Structure 1
Amino acid sequence: MTRRGLLAGALAGAGTLALSACQPSGGSSSGGDAMLTVAAQSDNLTRVFNPYLANTAQGLTYTPQGSGGFIYEPLVQINTVNIGHDLPWLAKSWRWSDGNRTLTMELRSGVKWTDGEPFSADDVVFTYTMLKKNSGLNLLGVDITSVTAPSPTQVVFTFPEPSEQFFTNVVSAPIVSEHIWSKVKDPTKYTDDSPVGTGPFKLDEFSAQSFTLVRNEDYWQPKAQIKALRFVAYKDNESMTNALVQGLADWGGTYIANADKTYLSRSKHNNYWAPLAGTDGLIPNLERWPLSDIAVRRAISLGVNRKQVGAASASPPATSVTGLPMPAYTGSIAPQYKGVDFTQDVAKAHQTLTDAGYAKGGDGYYHKGGKRVEFSVTFPSAYTDIASRVQVLVSQLKDIGIKLTIDTTTVTDINTRTGKGDFDSTMGYPVDSAPRAFSYYNDTINPNLYYPIGKATPTFQNIERFQNAEAAQLFKEYPKATTDAQRQQILDGIEKIFVENLPWIPMFYWGSYGNWSTAKATGFPSPQDPYFSPVPNPVVALRLKPV
C-alpha cells in the first residue's frame, strides 16, 4: 500500500504545474563542495529532531525501513528494492538462536557520535530499553524481553516468542546516545533541537522554511563526497513537483503527474523512477456499516476498473486476488491462487448487492433497512495522488449504485484519525511494511493487533479492525514454523482468509517515487542499477559523486 509513513508523510502527487525555466540552484557543484537541495513535504516544519516523534523535521531525514539515518542510524538498512540484500550498518553481522528467540548482533568498532564520544553496545541497549519503557515511541512495534551488552561490540536481544519474522522491524530503530538521552526526563516530549548522531550528516542551519545538513567529516564509513544537503519544506506535493521541475530542488520523493512531459522533458539531467514497493487500495473501517458488510466490499471489488484507478496516479493495476504485489511475490502465492486475478464484472457487482437484500432507490443508489449505501474516504488534502484516484472511484462507485463522499484532513491528523478508527474508509496504510510477504498481512489484517474503536493502535497496524479467529491462530503459529515449507503452508492459509473475507480492497500497485537531477551529482539508483530505493536516503547519499 502507499505508505503514509509514520515520520515523513506520504508521497503524494502533483496537480497544475508552473513550468517556468529556471537554472538549478541549491549550492556549488564543484568537486567536494556540492550541495544538493532536497524537496521535502511538511506542513509544520519545527526544530524537532527526536527520531521517535511523528511529523517533525527529523521525520524528513529518517523514515524507518528503507531510508533511515542521515543523522541517527539503524543497526541494519532494510533494502526495499533489491529484496533480501539488506545492508549491515551499525551492526556488521547477526545470528538467531534458541528457536529464533535470541538475536545476537556484532557491532562496528570505531564508530563515534558527532560530539566525539564513542559509540558502543551500551547505546543500543539504552535505546531499546527506552523503547520498551515508552510504548508511544515504539513506532515499529519492537517486542523484546531483554537486551544486554556482553561486550562493547555485541548486543543480545531476547524475545518472548520466536521473532525472526520481525527482524526488519527490530533492526530499523534509530539508535540514540546514552550519554545525552539518559539525561532526558521525558523522551516522548524531547525536542532534540541539536541532534548528536552517528550518521553521515549533522545539523548545521535551521529555519522555518528549510534546514541544512553538512557532511560528518569523522564518519565511520568513507565520508560523503557531497558536502551538504539542504532540505526545503513544501506544504504539498504540487509545490514539491514545481520545485523539481523548475530546478529549485535536486532530489525528491514524490509522485509526478505526466512525468515524461512535465519533468523528464525539461532537462536531460532529470530522472524519475518508482520501483515496485507494495499494493494500495480502499481500506475500510470494518466496524462501520456499510463496509462492514462483505457483500458491499465484494461488490466494490467487482465493480471497479482497477486500470482506471491506477492510471489516475500512473500506477499499474493490482492483479493477484491475494493482494500481494506481482510479479515480485509470485513465489509466495498459494497454489490455488496462482494466476487468479481480479476481474471487473459490473453485472455481478449488482447481483451481489441484490442477493444480499439491497435494492435500488429512486436516487440511483442501493438501500437496505432504510439506509443508503454511502460512505466517505478520508485522506489529507495535500495528497493529490490519492485525490486523483478517489475522484475516479466516486464516479465508478456511482455507476454500481454506491455513494462515495470525500473527507479531507491534514497530514498531521490523518494517522491519529485512522489509528483511533475515526473514518469510514481511507487509502494508504500509515506503516512501511518490509519486503516480506508475511509483513503485508501482519501489518494489515493480523487480528491479534485489533483495538476497539476509539483506542489508538500503537503501531497503526490492522487499522480496519479485522477480526477472524482462524487468522488469529495462523498469525500465532507462523513464528513457530522452523522450515520454509511450514511458513509457506501457514501463509497459504492466511491468503485464503484474505481472499474469502476481503478485509481491504486492493486496487493498484505503488512504487517508491524517486526524482533527481544529475546536474550536480551522479550515482543515484536506477532500473539499470537498482541497488536501493531512490527516495532521499543516506545509503544513496553516500554513493553520490559530485559532477
Structure 2
Amino acid sequence: MTTSKSPIASGMTRRGVLASALAGAGTLALYGCGPSSGGSAGGAATLTVAGQSDNLAKSFNPFLPNTAQGLTYASPGQGNFIYEPLVQINTVNIGHDLPWLARAWRWSNGNKTLTLDLQTGVKWTDGTPFSASDVVFTYNLLKKNPALNLLGIDFSTVSAPTPAQVVFSFAAPSEQFFTNIVSSAIVSEHLWSKVKDPIKYTDSDPVGTGPFKLDQFSAQSFLLVRNEDYWQPKAQIKAIRFVAYKDNESMTNALVQGQADWGGTYIANADKTYLSRSKNNNYWAPLAGTDGLIPNLERWPLSDIAVRRAISYGVNRKQVGAATDSPEATSVTGLPMPAYTSSIAPAYQGVNFTQDVAKAKQTLEDAGYSKGGDGYYQKGGKRVQFSISFPSAYTDIASRVQVLVSQLKDIGIKLTINTTTVNDINTLTAKGDFDSTMGYPVNSAPRAFSYYNDTINPNLYYPIGKATPTYQNIERFQNAEAAQLFTEYPKATTDAQRQQILNQIEKIFVDNLPWIPMFYWGSYGNWSTAKATGFPTPQNPYFTPVPNPVVALRLKPV
C-alpha cells in the first residue's frame, strides 16, 4: 500500500484502436517529453520527493514489496525511474497509454497472440544494448518464480522472432489483461541470469534502462541522477532525491515547509495547510477508484450478508468521504462515477446508495439479531463486533475510520481499530488474517471488468492462511455464477457481449455486497513549481501527478 491505496494502478484503453494509432508513433516524444525535452546539461534542478517507509533498505529489486523503490511510488512488478515497462498505462487520460520500451503492439489470433515492436537504440546504464531477449528473459523469470509475479501475468509462451520484436501466446483470449501484461519492469538478462535466487536478490546496485540511475543511498534517503545516455530525450532536471518519512503527517510537513518539492500524499484541509502557503504549491487528486469497508467474508459477523447490508444502509457516505475530502460513492455497482457511466447496467443507471438508519436496524432484526443492554446488536450470545486493520501511518484512512466507528455505533455495531505497519498490512490481508480493512491492496485498471476482476473474482479465491499472490479478492468472495461469468468474459467477441456479461457481474455485486463501497479516491499529487514546471494539472491531465518518470521527463527547471 501507499498512502491511501497500494500498488499503483494499471490503466485501460481500447487496444485495437490504440494499437493501430500507435503503429507508426515511434517514440514517446509524441506523448511524454515533447521535442524540447532534450534540454541542455545545464538544467540544474534537483527535486526532493517525499516518500513513505518504515524501514528504508538498499533493495531495488523491482519485483519485491517493501523495497527502497517503493519510496518512488512504484509498485512491485511495475516500471519506475530505473527499470522501465513495455507500456506506461495512463490512469488519468484514459485511452492515451504511452508507448515506452514497446513502440507499438497488436493483438491477433482471437486475442490469443500479442505482438510488440520494441524501441531500438536502447542501452542499459552499464552500456550493454537492450533487446527482445531481455524482455523474454524477464517474463520467463516471472513465470518460473510466481512469488515475483505480483501482477498475476499469465501466458503460455513468449519469444523473440527478432531483436526488436516480442510475441506472447496465451491459452485463452487475454486482451482484457493487457494493462498488467505490459506493466512489468524489464530487467537485464546479462546481469539477472547470474542471480541465484531472484526472490531474495536485493539488487543494491541496479542497472536499468530508465531516465535516472542510483548515485547515493542512506538509511533516510537516496539520490537518483539523470541518465545522460538515456534512449529518449533526457530529463532536464538533473537529479531526484527521495526522502523517507514515517507517515502522511510528516510528509505533509515537509511539503508545507518547502523541504520537499513533490509528493503523493493526502493532505488534510489542503487549501489552508498547503495551497495558501505559497503560490507555487499545487494539489490535485484525479479520480482513480472506489474504496470502503473490505470484509473478511470467512469471519463472522461480516460473513453475514444481513450485517453487511445493515452497514451499507447505516453509514453516511458523505461524512466518511468528507473526512479526507473524498467524494462519496454513489452507484450501487461500486463503479466510480461518473467515469464508468457507460458501463453501468440499465437496471442500475441512477440507482445510488442512500442512508437509512431505520432500515439498517430492521435488516438486523429481521435476520434474528436483537439489541443487548450495551446498545449493540447480538445473536446467539455474540455481540456484532469486528475490527478494522490498517497501517497507523495512513492518517487519511484513520480519519475515515474514526467517522465509521461513530456511525456504526449509532446502528448498534461495534467497530474496533487494529493498526499495523505499512510493511505488514498486505501480508495480513493476503493471508486473510483480518476482520476488515480499508485501502484495497490493488488498484483496479480504469475499466469495469478489471475493477471487478481485481476485487471479487471467485476464481482468485485462496483459503484463509494461504496468501493470495496478487492481492486480488482478499475478502475471499465465492460464487459459482460469478466464477463462470469471469471465465466467459474473455471469450466474448463483441462489446455488446462483454457488456451483457458485465451486467450480470454487477447484479451479483449488488445482490451479495461482497465489500461495501463508501467513497471515491484519487491519486494524490502535491508539488511546488518553485524549482520546476510541467506537472500535470486538471487543465492538462496528461498523466497521474504522483511522482513518476513520465512526469519527470516533462519537467523544466525554473
2:126 is equivalent to residue 115 of structure 1: yes
Give the equivalent residue in structure 2 for 1:512.
523
Give the equivalent residue in structure 2 for 1:545.
556
Larger displacement relative to structure 2 (512-521 or 53-62): 53-62
Give the equivalent residue in structure 2 for 1:218.
229
1:308-363 CA-to-partner distances (Å, cap 9, x unmatched) read 00001110000000000000000000001000000000010011000000000000
Give the equivalent residue in structure 1 for 2:15.
none
Task: Classify 1:333/1:167 alpha carbon distance in 2 versus 1 (closer, same or farther; 3 Å).
Answer: same
1:90-145 CA-to-partner distances (Å, cap 9, x unmatched) read 00011111111110100000000000000000000000000000000001000011
User: In structure 2, what residue type is equivalent to 1:429?
Assistant: Y
Give the equivalent residue in structure 2 for 1:287.
298
Give the equivalent residue in structure 1 for 2:48.
37
In the TM superposition, what is the alpha-carbon distance from 1:435 to its structure 2 partner? 1.3
| Matched position secondary structure for 1:412 | helix
Give the equivalent residue in structure 2 for 1:392.
403
Distance 2:78 2:196 in 1: 29
1:63-93 CA-to-partner distances (Å, cap 9, x unmatched) read 2499832000000000000011110100001
Distance 1:537 1:427 in 2: 25
Q: Is the 8 A contact 1:62 1:72 kept in 2?
A: no
Q: After the TM superposition, which segments of 4 or more aligned residues of structure 1 sit over 4 Å from their partners? A: 64-67
| Matched position secondary structure for 1:46 | coil
Q: Is the 8 A contact 1:7 1:54 kept in 2?
A: no
1:178-211 CA-to-partner distances (Å, cap 9, x unmatched) read 0000000000000100000000000000000100
Distance 1:81 1:31 in 2: 32
TM-score in terms of structure 2 length:
0.93
State which of 346, 359, 377 in structure 2 corresponds to 1:366: 377
| Matched position secondary structure for 1:343 | coil
Give the equivalent residue in structure 1 for 2:499.
488
2:197 is equivalent to residue 186 of structure 1: yes
Give the equivalent residue in structure 1 for 2:103.
92
Q: How many residues align?
A: 526
2:467 is equivalent to residue 466 of structure 1: no
Task: Classify 1:485/1:469 alpha carbon distance in 2 versus 1 (closer, same or farther; 3 Å).
Answer: same
Give the equivalent residue in structure 2 for 1:414.
425
2:449 is equivalent to residue 438 of structure 1: yes
In the TM superposition, what is the alpha-carbon distance from 1:6 to its structure 2 partner? 4.3
User: In structure 2, what residue type is equivalent to 1:258?
Assistant: N
User: In structure 2, what residue type is equivalent to 1:412?
Assistant: N
Summarize the alignment of residues 101-500 of structure 1 with structure 2, pairs less than 5 Å apart: 101-500=112-511
Q: Is the 8 A contact 1:144 1:157 kept in 2?
A: yes
2:16 is equivalent to residue 5 of structure 1: no
User: In structure 2, what residue type is equivalent to 1:378?
Assistant: S
Distance 2:498 2:557 in 1: 46
Distance 2:499 2:4 in 1: 25
Distance 1:121 1:225 in 2: 28
Q: Is the 8 A contact 2:288 2:523 kept in 1?
A: yes
Task: Classify 1:160/1:98 alpha carbon distance in 2 versus 1 (closer, same or farther; 3 Å).
Answer: same
Distance 1:207 1:64 in 2: 21
Distance 2:270 2:404 in 1: 23
2:87 is equivalent to residue 76 of structure 1: yes
Distance 1:109 1:541 in 2: 22
| Matched position secondary structure for 2:159 | strand
User: In structure 1, what residue type is equivalent to 2:64?
Assistant: L
Larger displacement relative to structure 2 (267-276 or 158-167): 158-167
Distance 1:84 1:3 in 2: 25
In the TM superposition, what is the alpha-carbon distance from 1:434 to its structure 2 partner? 1.4
In the TM superposition, what is the alpha-carbon distance from 1:220 to its structure 2 partner? 0.6
User: In structure 1, what residue type is equivalent to 2:245?
Assistant: Y
| Matched position secondary structure for 1:382 | coil
Distance 1:66 1:513 in 2: 21
Distance 2:109 2:380 in 1: 56
User: In structure 2, what residue type is equivalent to 1:273?
Assistant: W
In the TM superposition, what is the alpha-carbon distance from 1:4 to its structure 2 partner? 3.3
In the TM superposition, what is the alpha-carbon distance from 1:436 to its structure 2 partner? 1.1
Q: Is the 8 A contact 1:446 1:475 kept in 2?
A: yes
Q: Is the 8 A contact 1:34 1:520 kept in 2?
A: yes
1:239-294 CA-to-partner distances (Å, cap 9, x unmatched) read 00000000000000000000000000000000000000000000000000000000
User: In structure 1, what residue type is equivalent to 2:421?
Assistant: T
In the TM superposition, what is the alpha-carbon distance from 1:504 to its structure 2 partner? 0.2
Distance 1:295 1:430 in 2: 26
Q: Is the 8 A contact 1:420 1:454 kept in 2?
A: yes
In the TM superposition, what is the alpha-carbon distance from 1:3 to its structure 2 partner? 6.0
| Matched position secondary structure for 1:32 | coil
Distance 2:405 2:234 in 1: 50
Q: Is the 8 A contact 2:173 2:490 kept in 1?
A: yes
Give the equivalent residue in structure 1 for 2:34.
none
Question: Which ranges in structure 1 are unaligned for 5 or more consecutive residues?
Answer: 9-29
Distance 1:387 1:66 in 2: 28
User: In structure 2, what residue type is equivalent to 1:4?
Assistant: K
2:513 is equivalent to residue 502 of structure 1: yes
Give the equivalent residue in structure 2 for 1:46.
57
Q: Is the 8 A contact 1:81 1:530 kept in 2?
A: yes
User: In structure 1, what residue type is equivalent to 2:5?
Assistant: R
Distance 2:488 2:8 in 1: 31
Distance 1:472 1:243 in 2: 47
Q: Is the 8 A contact 1:124 1:175 kept in 2?
A: yes
Q: Is the 8 A contact 1:299 1:348 kept in 2?
A: yes
Identity %: 84
Question: Which ranges in structure 2 are unaligned for 5 or more consecutive residues?
Answer: 10-40
Task: Classify 1:3/1:179 alpha carbon distance in 2 versus 1 (closer, same or farther; 3 Å).
Answer: farther
In the TM superposition, what is the alpha-carbon distance from 1:31 to its structure 2 partner? 5.3
In the TM superposition, what is the alpha-carbon distance from 1:60 to its structure 2 partner? 2.3
In the TM superposition, what is the alpha-carbon distance from 1:496 to its structure 2 partner? 0.4
Distance 2:50 2:324 in 1: 20
Distance 1:89 1:69 in 2: 12
Distance 1:417 1:543 in 2: 38
| Matched position secondary structure for 1:377 | strand
| Matched position secondary structure for 2:43 | helix
User: In structure 2, what residue type is equivalent to 1:42?
Assistant: S
Distance 1:244 1:492 in 2: 44
TM-score in terms of structure 1 length:
0.95
Q: Is the 8 A contact 1:67 1:536 kept in 2?
A: no
Summarize the alignment of residues 8-27 of structure 1 with structure 2, pairs less than 5 Å apart: none
Distance 2:217 2:393 in 1: 24
In the TM superposition, what is the alpha-carbon distance from 1:156 to its structure 2 partner? 0.4
User: In structure 2, what residue type is equivalent to 1:233?
Assistant: A
State which of 539, 542, 545 in structure 2 corresponds to 1:534: 545
Distance 1:435 1:68 in 2: 18
User: In structure 2, what residue type is equivalent to 1:409?
Assistant: T
Distance 2:154 2:384 in 1: 41
| Matched position secondary structure for 1:33 | coil
1:456-504 CA-to-partner distances (Å, cap 9, x unmatched) read 0011100000000000000000000111111111000000000000000
1:365-393 CA-to-partner distances (Å, cap 9, x unmatched) read 00101100000000000001000000000
